[in-house]
Amino acid sequence: MAGDNVIIVNDLNFDAEVLKSSIPVLVDFGATWCQPCRAIAPLVGQLASEYQGRVKVTTLDIDESPVTAQKFQIRGVPTLLLIKDGKVVGQQVGAVPKAKIAALMNGAL
């Protein structure tokens, strides 16, 4: 489901890949059973290529990483969080157009 430039994160590597990142990180919280998650996955993949080197793009399966999902109080998927310097600086819930995701990412640049 992840594109070439989308990093898969989980409970074990989340801190290292996301919270300690030197650049802003978009985290796509989703699940394999979630149809809207599958719908935005290609958009997230495209943005990962377009923002390469400026924003790290990651994906996390809430069923495989329940600790992290609970820590960030993820109630519905897809949920996109933008994290900069270890703090959430933006959030988008639900399947949204690519432009809206890009606007979220631009907010951290």
Q: Where are the alpha helices (DSSP H) in the chain?
A: 14, 35-50, 66-71, 98-106
Q: Which of 27, 31, 37, 44 is catalytic?
A: 37
Q: In the 8-state DSSP scheme, what is residue 107?
A: T
Q: Angle at Cα 46 formed by Cα 17 and Cα 34, nearest 5°?
A: 75
Decide if 33 is catalytic: no
Decide if 37 is catalytic: yes
Q: Nearest CA to 57 among 77, 34, 29, 85?
A: 29
Q: Which of 2, 34, 60, 101 is catalytic?
A: 34
Q: Angle at Cα 70 formed by Cα 13 and Cα 98, nearest 5°?
A: 75
Q: Which residues are catalytic?
A: 34, 37
